[in-house]
Structure 1
Amino acid sequence: MPLVADAPTNLAGLTEAYAHTVRALLDLGGSLRPGDAERDTDCPGWTVHDQFAHVVSLEAWVQGEPLPDLDVSHHEHVRNPFAAVVEKYLESRRGRSVEELLEELTDLSTARIAHLEDPTTSPDDPAPGPFGPTNLVGSMQSRVFDLWVHEQDIRGALGRPGNLDSAGAAHTVRTLFAAFPRIVARTAAVPAGQGVILDLTGPIVGRTGVRVEEREGKAHGIPLFSGGTDDHGDVETTTITLSTEAATRRAAGRVATEDTHYAVVGDEAIARRVLDALVIAP
């Protein structure tokens, strides 16, 4: 997978990205104007206030808070067991003011950073993840992705773009690039013999590509630009060009393909299939 500049690769880098994104969220929350908290965001069913309640409650979850015993079945946007778990944590804080949520986020993140920076803390320490137990690095990879995506949700609702050149943005792009072989070969089911390149123009500049091969009856995405010596043969290639914002909003599932600004060189139908399959947020 090609390098994404400034993407954190170790626990120290992830901790720094986490701290920076939390600071951005606190700054946004502290500068809300009357009516801002009630604004709808691109995350179905969630207002700006709900976004802050989610960020805080999920941080409490990874620090050991048990699942609240609450009924969330009346929410139309809760459509699977994972979403129900997330909503139960959020629901437990829906009655709190933004000021209370920001105070809790400050306390939780301060404790979290102190733990991450403790010299006795190991990247391999066990930690909870969204899909089951993982290690601390895996947990922080998920946390930075989630926090940055929700920061962008809030920014979008407020009309205050920013942090598109941050370490959190670079980490989100790297996460998308890591999933790209599976997206192209399996989710989008691009035919064997085809190649797809994703070209991001910035502020985070990056390029990744995949060719599809069939092996033992199964489609496999083989990375291009990997630095290896594989012969890629005759591959018909489609290139999709997007900005950092367009790619990450689509990857988060917040903006539909038809509302995404992109350019294509090659097969338009394949590009559409890949963009439709690009969502990596749970």
Structure 2
Amino acid sequence: MTVHPSLQTYADAWTQSIESIAELVKPLTEGEWNRRTPCPGWSVRDIVSHVIGMECEQLGDPRPIHSLPRDLYHVQNDLQRYMEMQVDVRRHHTAPEMTSELEYVLIRRMRQLRNESRAPETMVRAPLGTEQTLELALHMRAFDVWVHEQDLRTTLGQPGGLDSPGALIARDILLDALPKVVAKDAGSPPHSAVVFDVNGPVEFLRTVRVDAEGRGSVDGSPSLGPAATLAMDWETYYRLACGRVRPQAVEDRIKIEGDQALAAAILDNFAVTP
């Protein structure tokens, strides 16, 4: 690929994850496309439809004209309605139609990236009629396709990719959300610190510190006498942060030291993806 150097990491991660998705779904039978995934309300077909739709929007294709059913329990806000449009319009597509469209979109997007000459700060299309920089758009696409690759791997019993380039991008995006989770959503007291000790394919130790005004920040240095320490494996961390599982379902995989009530409040607010 010949994108701007600052975009290359995101382009490479996106490519690996989306090619993995294509390989995962290529051999599926018609019935397997209807299997429920950890992504709330979405089947295998729905996830692939979402990926296709979002990449089509990056290509500048017009959005489908389609009316959503009123009984979709998982659609509760404008962003979810926006995302669901590309999904629902494909709900009756056959397996060959899905794989063919995914393959065609991949060819077009990879050609677009190979020929990309715009600067990273160029404003491009974003959901809900807004705009974002090209760099942010590709950053978020790399994150999105990695998370959905993991949804499909979980559903299909094909583990892998937990330490891929996309996983590292997901780590950084999810860590950026931690200060708000700890300081604002969970209500950690001023002058407190909460440590996250994550092991496994992606390993890190981070401390969220809350200042006198109740603002949170995250760094990689340890804390002496934190209010709470939460230790877990990377798969549990990302699944909680992406809303794929509730804390009660994985409590045996989480070790908590210190303020149990604060830790529970943090976990109750841990999901940060739309």
The normalised TM-score by structure 1 is: 0.87
The answer to whether residue 24 in structure 2 is matched with residue 28 in structure 1 is yes
Distance in 2, matches of 1:130 and 1:153, equals 22
Which sections of structure 1, spanning at least 5 residues, go unmatched?
Answer: 1-8
- Whether 1:54 aligns to 2:50 is yes
Aligned with 1:248 (options 234, 238, 258): 238
Which stretch of the first structure deviates more once superposed, 12-21 or 62-71? 62-71
1:74 offset after TM fit, Å? 2.7
Matched, 1:95 2:87: no
Q: Take 1:154 and 1:223, find their aligned partners in 2: how far apart are those partners? A: 31
Q: Does 1:187 align with 2:182?
A: no
Q: Which of 254, 258, 261 does residue 266 from structure 1 map onto?
A: 258
Moved more, 121-130 or 150-159: 121-130
Q: How does 1:187-206 map to 2 (within 5 A)?
A: 187-206=185-204
Alignment-mate amino acid for residue 271 of structure 1 = A
Rounded Cα–Cα distance in structure 2 between residues aligned with 1:58 and 1:115 = 14
In structure 1, what is the equivalent of residue 154 of structure 2? 156
Q: Could you tell me how far apart the structure 2 residues matched to 1:163 and 1:130 are?
A: 27
Task: Give runs of aligned pairs for residues 213-224 of structure 1, distance below 5 A.
Answer: 213-215=211-213, 219-224=214-219
Q: Please provide the CA RMSD for this pair.
A: 2.1
Equivalent residues of 2:82, 2:127 under 8 A apart: no
Deviations 1:112-136 (A, max 9, x none): 2222233623212222234631111
Change (3 A) 1:172 1:66: same
Alignment of 1:80-119 (within 5 A): 80-118=77-115
1:129-140 aligned within 5 A:
129-130=126-127, 132-140=130-138
Alpha carbons 2:30, 2:95 under 8 Å: kept? no
Q: Is the 8 A contact 2:29 2:95 kept in 1?
A: no
* Cα separation, 2, equivalents of 1:58 and 1:94: 16
Tell whether the 8 Å contact from 1:115 to 1:121 is kept in structure 2 after alignment.
Answer: no
Q: Distance in 1 between matches of 2:87 and 2:157?
A: 24
The 3 A distance-change label for structure 1 pair 33 and 96 is: closer
| Cα distance, 1:67 vs structure 2 | 3.0
How many residue pairs get matched? 266
User: How many Å separate the matches in 2 of 1:130 and 1:187?
Assistant: 25
Letter in 1 for 2:16: H
Contact in 2 for aligned 1:239/1:266 (Cα 8 Å): yes
For normalisation by structure 2, the TM-score amounts to: 0.90
Deviations 1:135-183 (A, max 9, x none): 1110011111111111111111112221101111111111111111121
Higher percent of residues as helix: 2
Letter in 1 for 2:249: D
| CA distance 1:213–1:70, shift in 2 (3 Å) | same
CA deviation string 1:174-222 (max 9, x = no partner): 111111112111121111122111121020112221111232xxx2013
User: Which residue identity lines up with residue 245 of structure 1 in the other structure?
Assistant: E
Hey, what's the Cα distance between the residues in 1 that align with 2:159 and 2:266? Answer: 26
1:33-53 Cα distance to aligned partner (Å, 9 max, x none): 453212111222211111111
For residues 235 and 193 of structure 1, the distance between their equivalents in structure 2, rounded to whole angstroms, comes to: 12
SS in 2 for 1:162: coil
Unaligned runs of 5+ in 2: none
User: How far does residue 69 in structure 1 lie from its aligned partner after superposition?
Assistant: 2.6
